Amino acid sequence: MMRRHMKVQRVESPSGEDNYFIAKAGSKLACGVADGVGGWAELGYDSSAISRELCNSMKESFTKGDHLSPVQLLNHAFDKIQNEDIVKVGGTTACLGIFEKNTLKVANLGDSWCGVFRQGSLIAETKVQTHGFNTPYQLAIIPNEIKTQNKGSRFIMDQPDDADEYEFNVVKDDIVIFATDGVIDNIDVKDIELYLKDNEKTPLEELSSKFVQNVYTLSLDENFPSVFSQELSQLTGQFYSGGKEDDITVVMVKVQ
């Protein structure tokens, strides 16, 4: 079993264990985020490799004009990195969407997240998928030798078809956010709504950059009542406080 670790593991990637992609094909736009499971770093593996290569594969396939749904795109990308031996070992969550006209189709596997905001208010969102506290659904590549060496362990190996599928209607000026759990483990949706309403005239690039910086600051605040610390308090019956240090990756899209 691979659980999410509460501290960021240092990896050779500018986005840590998180990765993202944005791709255009004709009038369609695809984008998404993926979050590598940090436990593999402690065993000496690059825990960012699988999220990075999965995103690269999804971008490449979509840009070629393959007419796939989000789940099919995820399936195709995951098959590629396995069959071509691109990634040796690792696990990752994934949340991706495809925009076409006024429709957004989304696939979510794990605890990353997508939310649609209209005039600063959340109108639709994905739900997280977990096997238990801090143990998200995850795609995994685990060599037989690791399974053999750890016969008593249970490894989580979910499949792309386990992803939840959504279809949302979007209109001009809607803001759609794809985010890894570094966001939603720290702040509540109501915090995001307040931020968007307070910054409604801010250009999108500045809006997203400032948003990530704000969440990052809160994640380091030992007194901040983060979503994660509140859930942990409820689970254990003990008081916990503070942000959750984690990689934070966001893709924002403003519908035109």
Residues 6+ apart with CB under 8 A from 95: 32, 33, 34, 106, 107, 108, 109, 110, 112, 113, 114, 126, 178, 179
Q: Is residue 38 part of a domain?
A: yes
97 bridge partner residues: 31, 106
Domain that residue 225 falls in: 18-254
Q: What is the pLDDT of residue 65?
A: 82
Cβ 244 vs Cβ 186: under 8 Å = yes
| Residue type (1 letter), 126 | T
Q: Is residue 205 part of a domain?
A: yes
Q: Is residue 136 part of a domain?
A: yes
Angstrom distance (rounded) from CA 128 to CA 114: 10
Q: Is residue 67 part of a domain?
A: yes
The pTM assigned to this predicted structure is 0.92
Quick check: helix, strand or coil at residue 113? strand
Q: What is the pLDDT of residue 13?
A: 63
Q: What is the pLDDT of residue 4?
A: 42
Q: What is the pLDDT of residue 40?
A: 73
Q: Is residue 88 part of a domain?
A: yes
Residues of the chain with pLDDT under 70: 1-15, 152
Q: What is the pLDDT of residue 152?
A: 60
Q: Is residue 10 part of a domain?
A: no
Angstrom distance (rounded) from CA 74 to CA 32: 10
Q: What is the pLDDT of residue 14?
A: 67
Q: Is residue 7 part of a domain?
A: no
Q: Which residue has the tokens 């490799």?
A: 49
Domain total for the chain?
1
Q: Which residue has the tokens 């596997």?
A: 109
Q: Is residue 81 part of a domain?
A: yes
CATH code of 177's domain: 3.60.40.10
* DSSP-derived secondary structure letter, 158: B
